[in-house]
């Protein structure tokens, strides 16, 4: 023990108290720390973020995938990536854009009739109930092609894409209102609302910005374009936005960065755009009463119809006291409303300050019609000073804000892009509290439910634009770097880096994992994109091929490990539609499907039906197969699409003369196959006996596996009847094939059954001491398992009971492991060497490892009945 701590203190930088209580007396840890050059702090950070195998995370993060047009899902604190959700971009893995139903979703995003196959995702938003995340829906915007997408958190699939009818780009979206009845989406680069050409010289007259208020039905999770409208705004280049909450519910807040309405024009000798658009000291925070405007939008006299959508003109909004401007420091970026809706924090990239506005002050100015002036479009401007709670200097390039658990006391976190820091400060007392360096150039930061009205604190994730020197280089473009920061202490503590190998994630949102309850399986035959039963739904026994003119419809099924039908023949030029249903009920038993050379792919989660369409315009033989390694017989899960040219005459190839088996030979093969099946069945029965005796039904996860296994086993009876019938008819050839099929079902049963048994053993065995755990690890890592299998005689003896076989056994085992050669001459060992024709090699274990292995072997003996 003394040795361990003296070693530790030579490398420790931080406090040692935590380590002494956390790590106990294991010398192994000190050894690893030394080998890997880890400090005590590193080890504490690892312990704070490590999730042991099989463990779960506390939070799930949805991060925008930037230019990949996708969403990334990962866990906190482990920072393990869990999923890519395809949104605006085809993603073959789940068949997105490669099967017909997902193509329909993707094509909802066509703009002016044209296909768009990528997106620039920026701001994901989680649906809310009373301002708190409810774990039901996720929406995200596409900045490049102004669109929103809706993802169902029941299965993490994109269900809807809507195109903004009037914007030519967007950015300040998506933001749910507190009960998810509406979603705000603000414009970015001003442009004419119609689709016509308008000269840039008419920028002030014909170019417009705005905010679209989308109607959303939180019950079904769909945006309703008919229940939506756009608020016309000046061409000020609207930016980030936020929806009011509690005190400010019903209002929206949107930044802008070009109140100068500068349009650049370096080609005509004008100073560049970025110079002109940041000339004024201030830009405008747009404050608008979307709730009242929503009601007004229902009266046709208040709206203009542009591109088949409702637009409320500025003068209507002004007349109804629904639109105001408040000056804000120039070129602002983030605007974030506090959980109680009372404070609105704005950060300007070109200003070192954060500006905190107070809603009650803004509201008072509005109610009293107390204006400092009007903008060129007649929008009332409120006095900045009178609207401000105060300003505080944070550092260079403040961008975005997140609230923590102590938001009521005023705690807020802000990213500093230029300084590459996160700053913790108090927005009520206007005081900086702490800063931490991040690597490098942070954009957004993500708190745990940090944008809801119920922030959890615990962590902040820094979403850094550059990684530079943090990872092994993978070319000139480095990964993005998400860094997890512990904010539970007084000082922020950087825990771990996570490289992100995708686009540039702008924002991420985090939700408690306990709030998500995704589906395990679909109702049999579901079209997952609509949630309804699929028109091509096919149940077992309904498989068929139908021809209607030159269109061939295949109604097929997939279940471990066959595709039914196995052969499809069509004519060259035929249209082909595969309707495929995954008949599995077993958890995670997904099958994929493709026909080689036709650029189609589907992923069928348990119960899902998909449609794949193509024209068989080339002649030939095309294998189709399951693309998920779904069982031991996955490679066998295949079939053939044969495409014949109807105008060609095919001459049959000379048949090869194959030697046929004699009757006696066939009989021998049949008997052998049956014998193998009988033996395999005996193994299955012994597993079943074990499972029953140990009450598998008490453990739901084990029970599910047993159900799956028996599901396969249940199919044997039918095959056996067919085999017997063939025997009766004298067709042993066929009988052998059916017996083989029986064997395949047995293998599948055993595959899952043994998994169930192993799981059950773990559940009912006595718990392992930490020494026994370390011993099992050492046993595995030391390569002992190469010769010894617990519970079985393998290429070495079974070690169950080894501690009973020798006198003074612990010492004997210790000495033998330490120096096997010293015992080669002992009669027992010599006998073993002769029997196995192998000598126990020296694995160079240290005393600690050997001690732990002995503890593990004791655990094995305690549970010997289970192996
Ligand atoms: Cu700052 Cu698009 Cu929210 Cu990027 S945005 S960082
Ligand atoms: Cu199904 Cu592989």
Q: Which of 144, 444, 508 to mutate to test the pocket of ligand 1 (most atoms within 8 A of CB)?
A: 444
Residue 410 gets which letter from DSSP? Answer: T
Pairwise CA distance, residues 471 & 469, whole Å: 6
Give the pair of three-digit tokens for residue 585.
């009920």
Q: Is residue 859 over pLDDT 50?
A: yes
The pLDDT tens digits of the residues spanning 383-419 come to 999 999 999 999 999 999 999 999 999 999 999 999 9
CB of residue 260 inside a 6 A radius of ligand 2: no
Q: What is the mean pLDDT of residues 701-728?
A: 89
CA of 631 to the centre of ligand 2 (A): 6
Q: What is the mean pLDDT of residues 131-138?
A: 98
- The predicted structure's pLDDT at residue 831: 86
- The predicted structure's pLDDT at residue 11: 40
Ligand 2 atom at minimum distance from 629 CA: 2
Ligand 2 atom at minimum distance from 561 CA: 1
CB of residue 171 inside a 6 A radius of ligand 1: yes
CB of residue 399 inside a 6 A radius of ligand 1: yes
CA of 266 to the centre of ligand 1 (A): 26
Pairwise CA distance, residues 5 & 15, whole Å: 12
CB distance 142 to 69 below 8 Å: yes
CB of residue 349 inside a 6 A radius of ligand 1: no
Q: Strand (E) positions, 772-816?
A: none
CA of 785 to the centre of ligand 2 (A): 30
CB distance 242 to 335 below 8 Å: yes
CB of residue 632 inside a 6 A radius of ligand 2: no
- Integer angstrom CA distances of residue 312 from 210, 705, 784: 10, 58, 75
- The predicted structure's pLDDT at residue 242: 97
Which pLDDT band holds residue 784 (cuts at 50, 70, 90)? confident
- The predicted structure's pLDDT at residue 4: 38
Q: Is residue 79 over pLDDT 80?
A: yes
Nearest protein Cα to ligand 1, atom 4:
506
Q: What is the mean pLDDT of residues 59-71?
A: 97
Using DSSP's 3-state secondary structure scheme, residue 763 falls into helix
The pLDDT tens digits of the residues spanning 180-197 come to 999 999 999 999 999 999
Q: Is residue 172 over pLDDT 70?
A: yes
CA of 68 to the centre of ligand 1 (A): 15
- HSE of 118 in the Cβ direction (CA atoms, 13 Å)? 7
Q: Is residue 219 over pLDDT 60?
A: yes
Using DSSP's 3-state secondary structure scheme, residue 323 falls into strand
CA of 121 to the centre of ligand 1 (A): 10
CB distance 159 to 221 below 8 Å: yes
Residue 66 gets which letter from DSSP? Answer: G
Closest CA to 310 of 456, 421, 166, 143: 166
Which pLDDT band holds residue 19 (cuts at 50, 70, 90)? very low
Q: Is residue 644 over pLDDT 90?
A: yes
CA of 182 to the centre of ligand 1 (A): 22
CA of 444 to the centre of ligand 1 (A): 6
Which pLDDT band holds residue 22 (cuts at 50, 70, 90)? very low
Nearest protein Cα to ligand 1, atom 6:
443
Q: If you search the block for the tokens 């079904």, which residue do you land on?
A: 220
First to last CA, the chain: 35
Which pLDDT band holds residue 89 (cuts at 50, 70, 90)? very high
CB of residue 249 inside a 6 A radius of ligand 2: no
CB of residue 586 inside a 6 A radius of ligand 2: no
- The predicted structure's pLDDT at residue 14: 41
Alpha helices in 277-325 (DSSP H): 290-296, 314-319
- Integer angstrom CA distances of residue 541 from 191, 409, 544, 581: 58, 65, 9, 12
The pLDDT tens digits of the residues spanning 827-839 come to 888 888 888 888 8
Q: Which of 443, 463, 481 to mutate to test the pocket of ligand 1 (most atoms within 8 A of CB)?
A: 443
Ligand 2 atom at minimum distance from 625 CA: 2
CB of residue 630 inside a 6 A radius of ligand 2: yes
Pairwise CA distance, residues 679 & 672, whole Å: 11
- The predicted structure's pLDDT at residue 711: 83
Ligand 1 atom at minimum distance from 444 CA: 6
CA of 506 to the centre of ligand 1 (A): 5
- The predicted structure's pLDDT at residue 338: 97
Ligand 1 atom at minimum distance from 417 CA: 6
Ligand 1 atom at minimum distance from 465 CA: 6
Please state whether beta strands 388-393 and 398-403 pair in parallel, antiparallel, or not at all (unpaired).
unpaired
Q: Is residue 369 over pLDDT 80?
A: yes
Ligand 1 atom at minimum distance from 171 CA: 2
Residue 820 gets which letter from DSSP? Answer: G
- The predicted structure's pLDDT at residue 196: 97
Q: Is residue 266 over pLDDT 70?
A: yes
Pairwise CA distance, residues 386 & 207, whole Å: 31
The pLDDT tens digits of the residues spanning 435-491 come to 999 999 999 999 999 999 999 989 999 999 999 999 999 999 999 999 999 999 999
CB of residue 562 inside a 6 A radius of ligand 2: no
Share of the chain above pLDDT 70, in %: 97
Ligand 1 atom at minimum distance from 122 CA: 2
The top-scoring range by mean pLDDT among 260-269, 610-619, 731-740 is 610-619
Q: Is residue 658 over pLDDT 50?
A: yes
CB of residue 171 inside a 6 A radius of ligand 2: no
Nearest protein Cα to ligand 1, atom 2:
122
Pairwise CA distance, residues 716 & 406, whole Å: 62
CB of residue 508 inside a 6 A radius of ligand 1: no
Q: What is the mean pLDDT of residues 258-277?
A: 86
Ligand 1 atom at minimum distance from 506 CA: 4
CB of residue 634 inside a 6 A radius of ligand 2: yes
Give the pair of three-digit tokens for residue 155.
């299965």
CB of residue 748 inside a 6 A radius of ligand 2: no
CB distance 242 to 346 below 8 Å: no
CA of 165 to the centre of ligand 2 (A): 43
Ligand 2 atom at minimum distance from 628 CA: 2
Which pLDDT band holds residue 20 (cuts at 50, 70, 90)? very low
Q: What is the mean pLDDT of residues 283-305?
A: 98
Q: Which residues of 17-29 are buried (b: 16+ CB within 10 A; e: fewer)?
A: eebeeebeebebb
Which are the contacts of 531, defined by CB distance < 8 A and separation ≥ 6?
159
- The predicted structure's pLDDT at residue 798: 85
The pLDDT tens digits of the residues spanning 477-528 come to 999 999 999 999 999 999 999 999 888 999 999 999 999 999 999 999 999 9
Which pLDDT band holds residue 24 (cuts at 50, 70, 90)? very low
Average predicted confidence (pLDDT) for the chain: 92
The reply to whether omega before 386 is within 30° of 0 (cis) is no
658 or 662, which is more confident?
662
Task: For helices 27-36 and 40-49, give the axis angle rounded to 10 degrees.
Answer: 110
- The predicted structure's pLDDT at residue 317: 98
CB of residue 333 inside a 6 A radius of ligand 1: yes
Using DSSP's 3-state secondary structure scheme, residue 347 falls into strand
- The predicted structure's pLDDT at residue 15: 41
Q: Cα Rg for the chain, rounded, in angstroms?
A: 34
- The predicted structure's pLDDT at residue 2: 38
CA of 329 to the centre of ligand 1 (A): 18
CA of 630 to the centre of ligand 2 (A): 4
Which pLDDT band holds residue 279 (cuts at 50, 70, 90)? confident
Ligand 2 atom at minimum distance from 592 CA: 1
CB of residue 240 inside a 6 A radius of ligand 1: yes
Q: Is residue 108 over pLDDT 90?
A: yes
- The predicted structure's pLDDT at residue 458: 95
CB of residue 122 inside a 6 A radius of ligand 1: yes
Ligand 2 atom at minimum distance from 634 CA: 2
Q: Strand (E) positions, 170-277?
A: 170-176, 182-187, 209-217, 222-233, 238-243, 252-256
CB distance 587 to 704 below 8 Å: yes
Which pLDDT band holds residue 801 (cuts at 50, 70, 90)? confident
Ligand 1 atom at minimum distance from 443 CA: 6
CA of 85 to the centre of ligand 1 (A): 20
- The predicted structure's pLDDT at residue 759: 86
CA of 639 to the centre of ligand 2 (A): 12
- The predicted structure's pLDDT at residue 302: 98
- Return the number of other C-beta atoms located less than 10 Å from residue 194's C-beta: 12
CB distance 209 to 187 below 8 Å: yes
Ligand 1 atom at minimum distance from 240 CA: 3
CA of 463 to the centre of ligand 1 (A): 10
* Environment class of 201 (CB within 10 Å of its CB; exposed 0-12, middle 13-18, buried 19+): exposed
CB of residue 45 inside a 6 A radius of ligand 2: no
CB distance 229 to 295 below 8 Å: no
Q: What is the mean pLDDT of residues 340-364?
A: 95
Pairwise CA distance, residues 680 & 669, whole Å: 16
CA of 654 to the centre of ligand 2 (A): 35
Which ligand is closest to the CA of 560, given by its number? 2
Ligand 2 atom at minimum distance from 590 CA: 1
CB of residue 482 inside a 6 A radius of ligand 1: no
Handedness of CA 33, 35, 38, 43 (dihedral sign): negative
Pairwise CA distance, residues 434 & 754, whole Å: 54
Lowest-pLDDT choice from 87-91, 314-318, 662-666: 662-666
Give the pair of three-digit tokens for residue 820.
């096997």
Lowest-pLDDT choice from 3-17, 733-747, 841-855: 3-17
Q: Is residue 348 over pLDDT 90?
A: no
CB of residue 637 inside a 6 A radius of ligand 2: yes
Q: Is residue 283 over pLDDT 50?
A: yes
Q: Which of 400, 445, 446, 451 to mutate to test the pocket of ligand 1 (most atoms within 8 A of CB)?
A: 400
- Return the number of other C-beta atoms located less than 10 Å from residue 844's C-beta: 9
Q: If you search the block for the tokens 């490669």, which residue do you land on?
A: 98
């Amino acid at each position: 023990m003394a040795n361990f701590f003296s070693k530790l203190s030579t490398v420790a930088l931080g406090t040692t108290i935590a380590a002494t209580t956390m790590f106990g007396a294991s010398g192994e840890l000190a050894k690893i720390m030394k080998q890997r050059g880890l400090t005590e702090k590193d080890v504490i950070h690892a312990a704070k973020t490590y999730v042991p195998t099989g463990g779960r995370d506390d939070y799930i993060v949805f991060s925008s995938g930037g230019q990949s047009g996708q969403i990334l899902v990962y866990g906190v604190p482990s920072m393990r990536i869990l999923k890519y959700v395809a949104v605006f971009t085809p993603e073959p893995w789940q068949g997105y854009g490669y099967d017909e139903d997902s193509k329909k979703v993707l094509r909802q995003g066509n703009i002016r009739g044209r296909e768009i196959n990528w997106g620039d995702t920026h701001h994901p938003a989680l649906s809310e109930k009373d301002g708190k995340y409810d774990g039901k829906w996720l929406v995200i915007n596409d900045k490049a092609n102004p669109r929103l997408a809706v993802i169902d958190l029941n299965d993490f699939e994109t269900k809807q894409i809507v195109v903004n009818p009037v914007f030519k780009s967007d950015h300040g979206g998506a933001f749910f209102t507190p009960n998810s009845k509406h979603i705000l989406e603000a414009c970015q680069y001003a442009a004419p609302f119609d689709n016509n050409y308008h000269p840039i010289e008419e920028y002030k007259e014909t170019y417009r910005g705005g905010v679209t208020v989308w109607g959303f039905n939180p019950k079904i999770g769909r945006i309703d374009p008919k229940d939506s409208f756009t608020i016309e705004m000046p061409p000020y280049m609207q930016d980030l936005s936020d929806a009011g909450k509690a005190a400010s519910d019903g209002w929206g807040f949107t930044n802008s960065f070009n109140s100068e309405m500068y349009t650049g024009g370096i080609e005509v000798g004008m100073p560049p755009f970025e110079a002109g658009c940041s000339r004024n000291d201030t830009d405008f925070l747009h404050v608008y009463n979307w709730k009242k405007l929503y009601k007004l939008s229902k009266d046709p006299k208040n709206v203009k119809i542009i591109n088949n959508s409702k637009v409320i003109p500025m003068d209507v909004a002004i007349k109804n006291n629904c639109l105001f401007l408040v000056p804000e420091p120039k070129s602002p970026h983030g605007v974030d409303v506090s959980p109680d809706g009372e404070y609105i924090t704005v950060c300007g990239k070109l200003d070192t300050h954060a500006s905190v506005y107070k809603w009650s002050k803004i509201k008072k100015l509005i109610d009293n019609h107390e204006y400092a002036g009007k903008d060129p479009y007649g929008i009332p401007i409120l006095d900045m000073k009178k609207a401000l709670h105060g300003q505080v200097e944070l550092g260079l390039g403040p961008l975005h804000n997140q609230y923590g658990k102590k938001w009521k006391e005023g705690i807020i976190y802000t990213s500093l892009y230029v300084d590459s820091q996160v700053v913790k400060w108090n927005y009520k007392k206007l005081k900086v509290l702490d800063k931490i360096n991040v690597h490098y150039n942070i954009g957004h930061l993500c708190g745990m439910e940090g944008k809801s009205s119920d922030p959890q604190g615990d962590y902040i994730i820094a979403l850094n634009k550059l990684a530079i020197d943090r990872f092994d280089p993978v070319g000139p473009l480095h990964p993005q770097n998400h860094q997890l920061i512990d904010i539970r202490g007084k000082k922020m503590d950087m825990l771990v880096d996570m490289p992100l190998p995708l686009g540039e994630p702008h924002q991420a949102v985090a939700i408690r994992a306990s709030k998500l309850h995704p589906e395990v399986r679909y109702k049999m035959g579901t079209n997952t994109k609509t949630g309804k039963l699929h028109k091509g739904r096919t149940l077992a026994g309904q498989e068929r091929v139908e021809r209607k003119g030159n269109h061939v419809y295949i109604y097929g099924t997939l279940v471990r490990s066959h595709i039914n039908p196995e052969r499809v023949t069509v004519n060259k030029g035929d249209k082909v539609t595969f309707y495929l249903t995954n008949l599995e009920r077993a958890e995670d038993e997904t099958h994929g499907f493709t026909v080689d050379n036709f650029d189609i792919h589907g992923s069928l989660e348990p119960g899902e039906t998909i449609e794949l369409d193509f024209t068989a315009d080339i002649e030939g033989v095309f294998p189709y197969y399951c693309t998920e390694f779904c069982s031991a017989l996955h490679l066998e899960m295949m079939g053939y699409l044969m495409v014949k040219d109807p105008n060609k005459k095919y001459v049959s190839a000379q048949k090869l003369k194959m030697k046929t088996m004699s009757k006696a030979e066939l009989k021998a093969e049949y008997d052998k196959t049956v014998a193998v099946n009988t033996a395999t069945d005996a193994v299955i029965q012994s597993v079943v006996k074990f499972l029953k005796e140990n009450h598998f039904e008490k453990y739901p996860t084990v029970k599910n596996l047993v159900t799956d296994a028996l599901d396969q086993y249940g199919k044997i009876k039918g095959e056996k009847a067919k085999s017997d019938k063939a025997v009766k008819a004298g067709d042993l050839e066929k009988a052998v094939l059916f017996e083989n099929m029986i064997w395949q079902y047995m293998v599948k049963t055993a595959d899952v059954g043994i998994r169930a048994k192993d799981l059950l053993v773990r559940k009912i065995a006595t718990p392992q001491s930490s020494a026994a755990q370390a011993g099992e690890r050492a046993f595995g890592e030391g390569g002992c398992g190469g010769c010894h299998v617990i519970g079985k005689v393998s290429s070495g003896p079974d070690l169950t009971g080894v501690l009973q076989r020798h006198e003074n056994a612990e010492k004997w085992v210790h000495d033998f492991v330490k120096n096997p050669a010293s015992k080669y001459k002992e009669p027992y060992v010599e006998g073993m060497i002769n029997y196995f024709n192998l000598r126990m090699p020296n694995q160079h274990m240290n005393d600690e490892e050997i001690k732990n292995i002995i503890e593990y072997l004791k655990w094995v003996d305690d549970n010997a009945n289970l192996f």
